[in-house]
Structures are given as C-alpha cells and as structure tokens.
A and B are shown apart, each in its own frame.
Chain A
C-alpha cells in the first residue's frame, strides 16, 4: 500500500521531540526578557510633555534644588507638582515671549493647571510615601536617576515589585547620609555596606517587607 507520510516526516518528528523542550524553554526566556524590557517598564524612554521642560537646564544649569518645585516631598506621600505660579516667578521676566512657554502663560491666564504627563505612575493598590524615604536617607537619584542630566524626563527605574523589594530587603546597600539626599551626583563610598549598616541603625530604618506595608 501507499505510504501515508512522506519520508521527511521522520526528520520532522525527531525535530519536534527535540524542539519541544527548546521551544518551551525559549518561550519562557522570551517572556522573562520582554517583561523586564523598556517595552514594558518604559525605562529610559523620554515622555512627551505639553512644555518641553528640561530638568537638566534647571537643575545642573541653574542650580535649582529639587524642593524648589517639589515642595511637599519631605512632609507628604506626594512629592508635589509646582503650580504655574512657580514657573511664572521667573518666566514672567525671562523668556516671557517665548512661544515654547505659551502653554505656561495660557495656564496662568486661564487659571487651569498644565496637564503634565506622569512619568512615575504607581498602581492604585500600592501605597507609597515620599517623605518616609527622604527622611530615612534614600536619595532622589536612587530611584529617579540623574535627573540633572535629563533634558526630558524619563523613567530611571523599572517600578516593578522585584525592584521595590530589592531595596527593601537590602537597605544598607542604598541608604545615604540625610545631608546627601538631594545631591544628584552622590557616589556611594567604597565601604557602602559598613556605612549603610551604621545609618540603618542611626536612622532606625526598618526593612519593611510585609505585604501590607504597601498593599493596604
């Protein structure tokens, strides 16, 4: 009788046995990579804003402190976004006819806030408080990166739970003296762990890793 299958089926069937393991492993590996890639995390991807505000110019060029605009970072959960008046303190005098700044002036005239696009967005089920991190010696740049080098804002951290936990479990590797919290170019010393352990004790840093610390 005629053969049902072509001779090539032999090769195909052997390949499929071999391939099964590798294809399965490949799928897992791809999922692992994609889930941690900027495609998902948006790390390093500059966000378009209504006004192309440059942190680089304002922080490293003009020397503004973080708290000049983000006023509530030391006292509240939310670091605070500056009202248009803060911009207009200078920009009513400087670049006051720049077309680039027209949305700022429009906002000032109409009393409507500028609608910035959030760069760091946490899900609603995560409780996060800026003030406690600042007061326990976690620097701005630890999470937000070298903001003073960013012409447009982008995410410097993946904001995934493993990233949160990595710090919460190993605080001594990240904590710095309170005096250096706003210092953008802070470099951890060689004996960071020793310093970290000392600061953890001094600042009474708790390594909070219970579910309810963030998911309340």
Chain B
C-alpha cells in the first residue's frame, strides 16, 4: 500500500505518488501483462464470468419473448409508453460518459492520474453504450427494421424525421460509440504489441499481432500515435457534452410537465458524469483488490474520483432544486401539480429514495476519512447508481403517468420481463467486462511506464520496441 500510515494526515497529499513504490519499466509491464498472459484462468474469474454469462442468457430469453410477443410484455401502455426500457437506456448512456471524460478531457487537461483508469473506463464506456443502444432498438416494436432510423436511399422515398430528437439521438449515440471505440482501440495498439511480443503461443501472437497492426514502437510510430491520440481526444471532448444533451432533448423537446425544461441538458450531463464515475468506482474497487492492483489504482485515484463524484453530485442536486423552484416560481398549474405529485403521489417513494441516494449520501464524501475508506466508497458508489436509475424512472414514468388530462392518467409498473431485460443488460455488461479483464491489458502499460519515477527506470526492457 502506498498511502503512508500517518494518522494525523489521512488525506494523501497532492504529491502522493500515482504509482506504488519500487516499480520500474519492466515490473510495471510484467505485472499488467501477466494478467492477460497467465495460462491459468483464475477460479474467481470463472465463477464471476459464469454468473455474468447466466445473466446474459436471461437477456436472450427476455429478448426472445419480446420478439415473439411484442412490446406489450414490458407493461407499457398509454400514457406511459416509455417504461423501464427508456429508463435503462438513459441510465446506461449516462454511465457511458465517464470513459470519454476521463480519457479525453482529463488528457487535454494534463491530469496524469487518469492514466491508470482510462483504459478501464473507456472499456466500460463501450460496454455501457452497447447495453444502452439495445433498449431503444428493442423498444421500436419491430427491431428488425431498425435501419429505418438512418437516412439511406430507401425504396419508400421517406427520410427520418430530422426535427425529432429521437433521430438526433441515433446520430449522437452512434457517433459516440464509434469515436469511443476508435479512441479505445488506438490507445490499445502499443499495449497489444507488448502482449504480442511477450506471448509464447503462436495463436495468441497472431491474434494480438493482427490487432497490433504491425506496431514496432519506432519513433515515427510514436510520433504519429501521439498526434492521432490527441486529435481523437479533441474529437471526443465535445461528445462528452453533446451526447447526454441530446438524450435530454428526448424529454426537454416534449411538452409533458416534468420534461419541458431548459435546465435538462446541463443537468443530464452532470448526472451522466456523476453516474459514470460512480460506475467506475463500483467496478474498479473490486477489480483492483482482486488483481492486486492497489499500487496502480491507488487511493489517490479513488480519492480523486470521489471528489468528482461529490462535485457532479452537487450539480445534480442543484438541478433537482431548480426543477422544484421553477415549478413554483413559474407557477404553471400543471408544473406545480407535477412536482407535488412527484413528492406526495404514487411514485413518492422513488423520488425520496433518489434524493437520499443522489443528494444526501454523496455529502459524506466531504469527509476525507470516508473518501479513503475503500469499501464505504464502494457502497456509496452503488447507492449513487441506484439513485441515478431511480432519477430516470421518476422523470420518465411519473411525468407521463400524470399528464394534462386527468382522464388519461394511469399508473405504470414494469413487468418481470422488464426486470429480466434490465438484469440481462447488466449480464451483457459484466460478460464483456470479464472478457476484457482476461484478454486485454486493463491498464495502459506504456502510459503507466511514463509515471515511473525517472531515477528508478533502467533503460532496458521497454517491451514492444525490441521485436517486430
């Protein structure tokens, strides 16, 4: 453990090392690549993967049922046509935001501490986008016609409705997925070459070799790599803001009380980063423990992420406050009714639990002792994830269930197929994550080598550069 055991100063100083003591270029590379190259798959990995895979099968079953019967299995009705599916979509897209933020924005801001969590967060982003993208497509009713969403020269001579935010969503999310994938992959190339060079088996040499695209680590390669990576970071940066803004337009452009609000874009973006960082914490804490990576994902990393969580949590809390304030300040009777119903109506439990999880719980992060207590931090991060899911549930369901015309009011509850699809999407996420942990270096080896104190680093053993 890197953190010093001085009781009078539990907060690591800003100068606290981002990497444990006694590492040099070789040992950093050894430690991370060993997880991928190890012949023996850890038993706990197998157990975890089996559980995740079983959940993935639940997803397959739920999708099969949906395709066979129709979206009616989801308990959606009129007026609540957007149920769990859209809640899950927004939740997953939100989670997908941490990756790009950590990778692109923190890179451009020269935040070195991003190094050991960026690969991981980007992978998480990709998997979360995959889970997110699934829901609106399944919600289409006839998902096999999903390509109608794209403007292509079809025989019907019709274009998608470009004035609809749902179409903006298609472009926003698919652009985000593409850029995140390219960004992640380009960042992986030098490390894939390292794995290729260290692998003993011909097959894995070939597979990693193909994906390493002939990387030899020459100065020319590095120069081009740096330029490309920086450009991609610049490209990805506006996406952090744009994607969830567009997702918020799905609601804000509609006239339903509780949706039609100008605060939605910034409030959604903050919520997305909030939930994204919560998910990075939720996953990185057990992973660093399990793979013994406490020296790379240090307490300083967790501490920094906790601070981001606190800051974005406060923005989100401001959003809740403003929503309520505006309803009464503007004084529209429908808006006032909507807020009162949110607080005291059928869905009040959801609302108050969400406020507890998203507003009250993060306040504990002011206390340095709690920020440094890994397992308390873990519990907080999970509660934030729960809170963010409930937030979307309240926005989507409660607003729709009580719209302008009392005769059309109708309460909504998800069915067990909704639960199965949601759990299944977690299964998809975890399955991909487990595969990632086993087959791809989860921490950027070459970037981490850059963090090794210069005095300790012997010139030899830079991995990829020797062989080709």
Contact = CB atoms under 8 A, between A and B. Distances in A.
Interface of A: 1, 4-5, 9-10, 13, 28, 32, 35-36, 158, 160-162, 165-166
A174 B205 CA distance: 66
A4 B158 contact: no
B155 A36 contact: yes
Contacts of A158: 155
Given A4-B206, A4-B209, A161 B214 contact: no
B213 A13 contact: yes
Contact of B205 (A4, A13, A161): A4
Nearest to A1: B467
Contacts of B213: 13
Given A1-B467, A4-B206, A32 B153 contact: yes
B44 interface: no
Q: Is the interface of B mostly helix, strand, loop or mixed?
A: loop
A4 B202 contact: yes
Contacts of A32: 153
29 contacts: A1-B467, A4-B196, A4-B202, A4-B205, A4-B206, A4-B209, A5-B206, A5-B209, A9-B214, A10-B214, A13-B213, A13-B214, A28-B152, A32-B153, A35-B155, A36-B155, A160-B155, A160-B156, A161-B155, A161-B156, A161-B157, A161-B158, A162-B154, A162-B155, A162-B156, A162-B157, A165-B157, A165-B158, A166-B157
A165 B155 CA distance: 10
A13 B154 CA distance: 33
Query: Which interface class (under 10, 10 to 19, 20 to 34, 35 or more) fits B?
Result: 10 to 19
Looking at B157, B158, B196, which has the most chain A CB atoms within 10 Å of its CB?
B157
B395 to A, nearest CB: 30
Contacts of B206: 4-5
Interface in B449-468: 467
Contacts of B152: 28
Interface string B121-157: 0000000000000000000000000000000111111
Contacts of A160: 155-156
Interface string B198-214: 00001001100100011
Contacts of B154: 162
A4 B200 CA distance: 11
Contacts of A5: 206, 209
A35 B214 CA distance: 40
Nearest to A10: B214
A5 B206 CA distance: 7
Interface string B206-245: 1001000110000000000000000000000000000000
Contacts of B158: 161, 165
Given A9-B214, A162-B154, A165-B158, 8 more contacts: A1-B467, A4-B209, A5-B206, A36-B155, A161-B155, A161-B156, A161-B157, A166-B157
Nearest to B214: A13
Nearest to A9: B214
Interface in B172-218: 196, 202, 205-206, 209, 213-214
Contacts of A13: 213-214
